[in-house]
Structure 1
Amino acid sequence: MTAQILLIDEDAAERRSMKAAIEAHGHTVHLADTVHAGIELFRRHGDTIGLVLIDAGSTDGLDPTVIPLLGQINPAVPVIVGTAEGATETALNAVRAGAFDFLVKPITQERLIGAIESALKIHRTSLQGRTPRRARSGSVSFSDVVAASAAMSRVVELGRRAAQSMIPVMLEGEAGVGKELVARAIHAASDRSARPFVPVNCNAISPSLIEEVLFGNEQLPGKVMEADGGTLFIEEISELPPAGQSRVLEIAQTGEIHRGAQQRPAKANVRLILATNKDLIEEVKAGRFREDLYYRLNVFPITIASLRRRKEDIPHLIRAFVERFSLEQRLPRTLQVDPSALALLTSFDWPGNTRQLENAIFRAVVLADGTSLRERDFPQIAAQVNSHRGSAIGIDQHPAVPEQSPIAKVQAALAERAAAFSGSYSAPSTGFGGAAQGNVIVSTDEAGNVRKLAEIEEELIRFALKFYRGQMSQVARKLGIGRSTLYRKLKDYGIDPDDPQRDAA
């Protein structure tokens, strides 16, 4: 079936070759040489375009607000992002932002057309009245929160307690862990459940517009007034500009808001629930977040663990998503999940957390051609898991042994070397052509004393940057620290985060 496709790419040669390949399969292609031009074209023809294909390889990279903006114009249209080889973080960020798929260059024609046809199938499904995503409503309750793990059971317990009061709640955790779901459950369990729940994501709004969106002006009421009597959920509060932080502090302290040129402030009768994927105390230290606002808002913190830290939740989430999407797609019966597929999905680390898992299940359900989901229905996940397993074998040489924490690895190595009185840790073969052979982290100084932990930490980070070829997400995950913590340490040790391999060991 012929479809209209919007192709956004700055490279004229790539535009021509991809246009020819797509049109050879009977589709119509609209071209744009900049993101701005592409968005304007999409605004004009969003009702007829069935797919957006956007290149993320420009000199400035892909603006994180682009995919959410496309979704605001027409949420039913899937977006595919093209990334350069090795740009894993760009691809993951695109998926987290809502991209349907990503293509790694060089892109084969078979892969390009396969991704396009899969995305168009989902678009046609939405046009037939089958909702591609369930819109969260205020009726979400704690029973909707999968809490098989002790970590999530604790989140539910704290959430129920928070619902009984009006104090601000701070939800902490990586992107995609389900902070909005928990916020909605808190709202639904509170005495404000009959009033509005209004979410605002500061990461999806231009900094110049955040204040107007939140607080309004003389013509527009703004989200604060829209949430009157209910709950205002501000996601990624760390991205709020300084002026906006001051106004949120005013609401938290006085329950009032100044709007436009009005002389008298208006009452802001809202319950505040905030969310962040950053370490706010580090943001305070760096001068990016007001200290008084931090202590005013961080009254009742609830930390939601990443999905890789609570893998016992994954099978339950999979079944819940499969049941939900089978119902939404009006399938004759709920799809089953093959044990091999369940094992594959449970073994994956899910850097995009629950949101990424939900997107993967949705895609598989829509494209399923049988009565059950099998391992082959998750080709991207299988490729990443197999790649990780291959690397693990090359690194550890013992794939059956559970991975040690970074500290445990260092302690074990130091103990082994201490026993042999060598005083150093020699890195094993990396499996990447021996690139890391010869790397040594010395544990004692020339006088025979144990070196300072900070010195060894710096060397370990530099080694990890080289070992994982500057892939920041993987470096942070393998070192057992958050990305924000890793970037802070890079700054402390004078390592350029934009070119970390240059300063690697």
Structure 2
Amino acid sequence: MTAQRILVVDDEANARRAIATILGEEGYEVAEASNGEEALARLADFSPAVVLTDVRMPKMDGLTFLQKAREQGADATFIMMTAFASVETAVEAMRAGAEHYLVKPLDANAVLVVLGKALEKRALERETENLREQVRQRARFHNIIGDSSQLQAVYDMVKRAATTKATVLILGESGTGKELIAQAIHHESQRRDKAFVKVHCAALSEGLLESELFGHEKGAFTGAVGRKEGRFELADGGTLFLDEIGEISPSVQVKLLRVLQQREFERVGGTQTLKVDVRIVAATHRDLVGEVKAGRFREDLYYRLNVVAVTLPPLRERKSDIPALVSHFLEKYSDSYGKEVRGLAPGTLQALLSYDWPGNIRELENAIERAVVLAPGHELTTDDLPPVLRGPRPVGASPSSLIPGATLAQIEREAILRTLERVGGSTTRAAEILGISVRKVQYRLKEYGAAAHGTTPPASDSDEEGSEADAASE
């Protein structure tokens, strides 16, 4: 293993060399500088992990050196040293980004302890960031986050259907991510270099929707001052995503059926027949079978749309994806609002798992955004969550605080939840650390969510058998 690099900055030569000697004997690679200006020059070529710097020095003092180093993008951990300690100086140093503050004359053991803790924290931060990146790469499929068995089945269906010309119908409750699936189908297809055009059918009146889809000629209706190309023309060669297809009127259904059957149409108010090569992906939260039986949706159109059906599970049925989703939204909104909220306090993940999320991913995202805005610290607590999510606080903050008097199941639950919080929601990484299977972690997450409502976990027989097999082998 490469020795950790430490830069010692002090205008007192004897003190500087004494510290450098001690650190060198402990196996660190040490460089020295006599003032802030010299130290700034050493940062680039030496790239230290930690900088031990005096506060009061000629030419450039330690605080100015720290500020300029941060401005230049240095990511070294700073530990300040001074013989003139004061509360004001300490506060200023911490605000500038120092990790710790040591008072001279220095105690060698104290220096080594503080340095060790600083390096340990630094390593943990980098490991966490690496894990986050692994989670991002492993759990995302064209911006779709999650690695539950239900979502893996969706990924498999998308990959198989995307390479064909088949029309795809995406079904699922509102907020489950149907548009993301439509985009994934387009990006996995041979049409990926062509346009992806979307129309929200429920947002437009019948007349406007017809004009948006098929275009119109000049004078076709009041306000039509010129020719307009419709979305079908704009999507020629690419993909047209019809969101909330279940909301379109019977007359538009007829015209859409013709396009699906013959790949041709006329603009509103026009006579010229236009032909297009467009791949249709449609989505709805409605039960189209029920709509067909009720006479509100054409049966022949339904079968034209339903060549390949992809059903997205609601979030309550794939709660094992919640940790990864929360990690993603934490990062997204922390960056968006300029806050440093990067983790969850004990009990917060359990509160998120215990809720059924009737608004699905959209509701979860809104809840995390709200919590990030309101959070006063670096971790989200249950107090930061919407009132509907706040439940009783857990007994104890760590597995060790549950002992004695806790059951093995309680200890296991605490271990799984705290490990997931530590690794940014990655069930794969949590399973590796805990020495159990990914399936067991995912099954337990379903179990914890169901227990909050007094129900059995929504798992398949294969999930239960897998969990029992895991337990038997451990």
- TM-score, length-scaled by structure 2: 0.50
CA displacement, residues 105-154 of structure 1 (integer Å, 9 cap, x when unaligned): xxxxxxxxxxxxxxxxxxxxxxxxxxxxxxxxxxx972522232111110
Q: In the alignment, which residue of structure 2 is the partner of 1:380?
A: 387
Q: Secondary structure at the match of 1:174?
A: coil
Q: In the alignment, which residue of structure 2 is the partner of 1:180?
A: 179
**Cα distance in 2, alignment partners of residues 177 and 237 from structure 1:** 16
Q: In the alignment, which residue of structure 2 is the partner of 1:14?
A: none
Change (3 A) 1:237 1:289: same
For structure 1, which runs of at least 5 residues remain unmatched after alignment?
1-139, 387-398, 407-505
Displaced runs of 4 or more, over 3 A: 399-402
Q: In the alignment, which residue of structure 1 is the partner of 2:429?
A: none
Identical positions, percent: 44
Deviation at 1:334, TM superposition (A): 5.3
Change (3 A) 1:401 1:301: closer
Residue 166 of structure 1 pairs with residue 162 of structure 2: no
Counterparts of 1:342-353 in structure 2, within 5 Å, are 342-353=349-360
Contact 1:141 1:188 in 2 (8 A): no
**Cα distance in 2, alignment partners of residues 274 and 341 from structure 1:** 37
Change (3 A) 1:350 1:369: same
Q: In the alignment, which residue of structure 2 is the partner of 1:402?
A: 454
Deviation at 1:191, TM superposition (A): 1.4
Q: In the alignment, which residue of structure 2 is the partner of 1:368?
A: 375
Q: Secondary structure at the match of 2:302?
A: helix
Q: In the alignment, which residue of structure 1 is the partner of 2:297?
A: 289
Amino acid at match of 2:209: I
For structure 2, which runs of at least 5 residues remain unmatched after alignment?
1-138, 218-226, 393-450, 459-474
CA displacement, residues 365-390 of structure 1 (integer Å, 9 cap, x when unaligned): 2332211111111133325x67xxxx
Counterparts of 1:120-139 in structure 2, within 5 Å, are none
Q: Secondary structure at the match of 2:241?
A: strand
CA displacement, residues 277-307 of structure 1 (integer Å, 9 cap, x when unaligned): 1111111111111111111110000110111
Change (3 A) 1:143 1:232: closer
Contact 1:141 1:184 in 2 (8 A): no
**Cα distance in 1, alignment partners of residues 175 and 207 from structure 2:** 25
Contact 1:141 1:186 in 2 (8 A): no
Deviation at 1:405, TM superposition (A): 10
Deviation at 1:226, TM superposition (A): 2.2
Q: Secondary structure at the match of 1:200?
A: strand
CA displacement, residues 16-74 of structure 1 (integer Å, 9 cap, x when unaligned): xxxxxxxxxxxxxxxxxxxxxxxxxxxxxxxxxxxxxxxxxxxxxxxxxxxxxxxxxxx
Change (3 A) 1:202 1:317: same
**Cα distance in 1, alignment partners of residues 452 and 318 from structure 2:** 20
Residue 201 of structure 1 pairs with residue 200 of structure 2: yes
Residue 191 of structure 1 pairs with residue 190 of structure 2: yes
Q: Secondary structure at the match of 1:221?
A: coil
Change (3 A) 1:334 1:270: farther
Q: In the alignment, which residue of structure 2 is the partner of 1:153?
A: 152
Q: In the alignment, which residue of structure 2 is the partner of 1:107?
A: none
Q: In the alignment, which residue of structure 1 is the partner of 2:240?
A: 232
Aligned partner (choices 312, 329, 337) of residue 329 of structure 1: 337
Contact 1:168 1:300 in 2 (8 A): yes
Counterparts of 1:438-453 in structure 2, within 5 Å, are none
**Cα distance in 2, alignment partners of residues 329 and 401 from structure 1:** 34
Q: In the alignment, which residue of structure 2 is the partner of 1:340?
A: 347
Residue 301 of structure 1 pairs with residue 309 of structure 2: yes
Q: In the alignment, which residue of structure 2 is the partner of 1:28?
A: none
In angstroms, what is the RMSD of aligned CA positions? Answer: 2.5
**Cα distance in 2, alignment partners of residues 280 and 325 from structure 1:** 36
Amino acid at match of 1:367: L
Deviation at 1:214, TM superposition (A): 2.0
Contact 2:341 2:372 in 1 (8 A): no
**Cα distance in 2, alignment partners of residues 307 and 281 from structure 1:** 23
Aligned partner (choices 314, 318, 328) of residue 322 of structure 2: 314
Deviation at 1:274, TM superposition (A): 0.5
Q: In the alignment, which residue of structure 2 is the partner of 1:216?
A: 215
Amino acid at match of 1:247: K
Deviation at 1:404, TM superposition (A): 5.7
Q: In the alignment, which residue of structure 2 is the partner of 1:414?
A: none
Change (3 A) 1:401 1:251: closer
Amino acid at match of 2:229: P
Amino acid at match of 2:279: R
Change (3 A) 1:300 1:152: same
Q: Secondary structure at the match of 1:266?
A: strand
Deviation at 1:235, TM superposition (A): 1.0
Number of residue equivalences: 254
Q: In the alignment, which residue of structure 2 is the partner of 1:424?
A: none
Q: In the alignment, which residue of structure 1 is the partner of 2:106?
A: none
Contact 2:244 2:283 in 1 (8 A): yes
